[in-house]
Amino acid sequence: MGGPTRKVQQGSATRDVQTGCATRDVQQGGTTRDVQQGSATRDIEKGSATRDVQQGRATRDIQQGCATRDIVTGSATFDVQTSSAYLDLNGQRYPPRNG
pLDDT band at 10 (very low <50, low <70, confident <90, very high): very low
pLDDT at residue 22 is higher than 50 = no
| Per-residue confidence (pLDDT) for residue 28, from 0 to 100 | 42
Distance separating alpha carbons of residues 99 and 94, to the nearest angstrom: 14
Is the pLDDT assigned to residue 81 strictly greater than 50?
Answer: no
Based on the number of CB atoms within 10 Å of its own CB, is 25 exposed (0-12), middle (13-18) or buried (19 or more)? Answer: middle
Query: Which pLDDT score is estimated for 98?
Result: 52
Quickly state the pLDDT bin for 93 (edges 50, 70, 90): low
pTM above 0.85, yes or no: no
